[in-house]
Amino acid sequence: MTTALPSSRETASLIVQDVCSGKRTAVEVLETYLDQITSHEGEVNAFTLVTEQQAKADARSIDKAIANGDTVGPLAGVPVAVKDNLCTKGVATTACSKILEGWEPPYDATVVTKLKEAGAIIIGKTNCDEFAMGSSTENSAFGPTRNPHDLDLVPGGSSGGSAAAVAAGFAPLAIGSDTGGSIRQPASLCGVVGSKPTYGGVSRYGLLAFASSLDQIGPFASTVSDAALLHEVIGGYDPKDSTSIKEQNTSHSALIGHDLKGLKVGVIKELLGEIEGIHPDVINSCNRAAESLENSGADVEHVSLPSAIYSLSAYYLIAPAEASSNLSRYDGVRYGLRIDGSNLKEMNINTRTEGFGDEVKRRIMLGTYALSSGYYDAYYGKALKVRRLLAENLEELYQEYDVLLSPTSPCTAFPLGEKTQDPMTMYVNDICTIPANLAGHPAISVPFGIGTDALPIGVQIMAPPMKEQVMYQVAASLELAADV
C-alpha cells in the first residue's frame, strides 16, 4: 500500500486567521500547498490543471489588500480546488471529456465568482468522471484519480479529484457536484467531509449539466465547520439560475457546537442492511454513529423508508434521460471537438463517437430509449412516480424526525479496475446517496471510523429542505465523537 496522505491537514478557518493577523502571508500558504502538489500529484492525479501563476497573483493581491488595511473576504488566502465541470473564465473547462478538449469559457460560474469575492485562491481544476457520470473517477479523459489512502484504490466519484485533493493535502477546501452522490460517496471513500446542499440552495449557473433536476454543487473539507463555512460562501439566491431559491438562510454553521437534546434522529432500516450489498463494517460504523448521537442527547429510532429500495432504478432512468437531452448540445458545431464528415449528420456522428467515452455513450443511449415513443410511460413516467413516492415518504418521516442517518457508501474504497467491466456493480455504489438527490434534500457525509481494511468509512446525515443548520449541527457532533 502506497500513500500520499499528509500526517495532518489544517483548517480553512486557521488559514484565514493566520493570513488576516499577519502570522503568514497568503503567498506562503499557497506555496505550502503547491509544494504538496509538486510532491504527490504525479501519484494521485487529482487535477486536470494546476493554475499556479494565476493563484500566485491572486495570493499577492490578498496580501496587498491586508497590508493596506482593506477588507478581505471570509476565505482570504485559502486555496480551493474546483471540479472541472464548473466554468472558469479563460481557463480550460472540459468536464474531463475529449469533446470539450481545450474549451475556455468566456465567463465564470456563479460559485467561482463567489469564491473569488470571498478571497479564496483557485488553485486548480480537479479530475472527475466524464460529465460527472461515474462513481470511481475512472471515466476521465485525463486518466483515473487514485485514493490518497492507498494509491491502488479508487477515490470514489464523480468528484473524486476534489475529494482526493483535500485528502492528500493539496487544498484545504474543494468544490464538487452531486447528481446521485458524487460529493458524498468520494468524501466517504477518501475520509473527508462532503456536503450536498438543498436543490436550489447553491447556484448551478456555469455548471456543465448532467441531469438538471438532480445536479447540485457543494463543498469538500477536512472538518464540518469548514464545510459549513464554504457552503455559506457559495450559497444564496442567484437570478441567473431559474431553480435558485429566493428565501434562504445561509448561516449554516449557526448551530454547530449546540447540544442535541430534543432532536429526533431516524436511522433508515432499508439502508442499514436490508438492501443487499451493504458491507458489515459500514453497518457497524453506522450503528456506532447512532449510539454516539443517542449518547449526545438525541432521541434515536429506526425508521422505514420503503421507497429507498426503488430509488436506484428510478435514478438510472431519470438521470440518463436528462443527460440525453443536455448532452445533445455537443454536436461539433458550436464549441469543443469537431471531427469532419461528408455531411452534417456524419460530422455529428464522428464527433460524438470520438468525443464521448463509453459510460457517457451508455447513459445517453439508455436515456434516449427511456424517453422514446412507446416506452416513455413504461420507464421514464414510472420513474417519476417513484420519485414522487420517495419525496412523500421522506416528508412523512420529517414530520417526526429532524434528521435521518444512514451509511454513505455501501463499501470502503475498492481497487482500480475492479468494477469498470460491470456497470450495474458500479451503479450500486450510489444506493445510499440517491434518495437525497431525487428528493432535492440536503445531505452530508462525515468520516466515522475505519473498516477492517484500515480504510475510512463515512456516515450520512439527511435533513429536510433548507434545514442545513441542523444537518451541520448533527454532523459536527458525530465528528467530535469520531475523534475521541
Q: What is the pLDDT of residues 313-365, one digit of tens each?
A: 999 999 999 999 999 999 999 888 999 999 999 999 999 999 999 999 999 99
**pLDDT of 483 higher than 80:** no
Q: What is the pLDDT of residue 250?
A: 79
Q: What is the pLDDT of residue 277?
A: 87
Asked about 39 being catalytic, the answer comes back as no
For residue range 445-459, list pLDDT tens digits in order.
999 999 999 999 999
Residue 206, CA distances (Å) to 26, 93, 109 in order = 27, 10, 4
Closest to 252 (Cα-Cα) out of 482, 72, 442: 442
**pLDDT of 119 higher than 60:** yes
Q: What is the pLDDT of residue 4?
A: 56
Sheet holding 443-450, edge to edge: 47-50, 121-126, 79-83, 173-178, 216-221, 193-196, 443-450, 456-462, 403-407, 264-268, 299-303
In the predicted model, what is the mean pLDDT of the chain?
96
For residue range 62-72, list pLDDT tens digits in order.
999 999 999 99
**pLDDT of 176 higher than 80:** yes
pLDDT band per the 50, 70, 90 thresholds, residue 7:
very low
**pLDDT of 8 higher than 80:** no
- The catalytically annotated residue of 13, 83, 140, 307 is 83
Q: What is the pLDDT of residue 42?
A: 97
Q: What is the pLDDT of residue 167?
A: 98
For residue range 76-104, list pLDDT tens digits in order.
999 999 999 999 999 999 999 999 998 99
Q: Element (H or E) spanning 287, and its range?
A: helix 280-295
Arithmetic mean of pLDDT, 301-310: 96
For residue range 364-413, list pLDDT tens digits in order.
999 999 999 888 999 999 999 999 999 999 999 999 999 999 999 999 99
**pLDDT of 234 higher than 90:** yes
Buried b or exposed e, range 22-49, using 16+ CB within 10 angstroms = eebbbbebbeebbebbeebbeebbbbbb
pLDDT band per the 50, 70, 90 thresholds, residue 274:
confident
Asked about 83 being catalytic, the answer comes back as yes
**pLDDT of 46 higher than 50:** yes
**What percentage of the chain carries pLDDT values higher than 90?**
93
Q: Show the cell assigned to 337.
A: 471537438
- The catalytically annotated residue of 13, 97, 158, 162 is 158
Integer Cα distance of 429 and 312 in angstroms = 10
Asked about 158 being catalytic, the answer comes back as yes
Arithmetic mean of pLDDT, 278-286: 97
Extract long-range pairs of 464-468: CB within 8 Å, 24+ residues apart: 464/394, 464/398, 465/198, 465/199, 465/440, 465/441, 466/198, 466/201, 466/245, 466/248, 466/249, 466/442, 467/402, 467/403, 467/442, 468/195, 468/197, 468/198, 468/201, 468/228, 468/231, 468/252, 468/442
For residue range 456-481, list pLDDT tens digits in order.
999 999 999 999 999 999 999 999 99
What one-character-per-residue DSSP string does 128-144 give? -SGGG--SSS-S-TT--
Listed by start position, the domains of the chain span 1-484
Q: What is the pLDDT of residue 334?
A: 85
Tracing cell 440518463 back to the chain, one arrives at 320
Strands annotated E in 114-178: 121-126, 173-178
Q: What is the pLDDT of residue 374?
A: 87
Q: What is the pLDDT of residue 6?
A: 56
Phi, psi (deg, nearest 5) at residue 470? -70, -30
Q: Which CATH architecture has domain 1-484?
A: Alpha-Beta Complex (3.90)
- The catalytically annotated residue of 182, 195, 296, 311 is 182
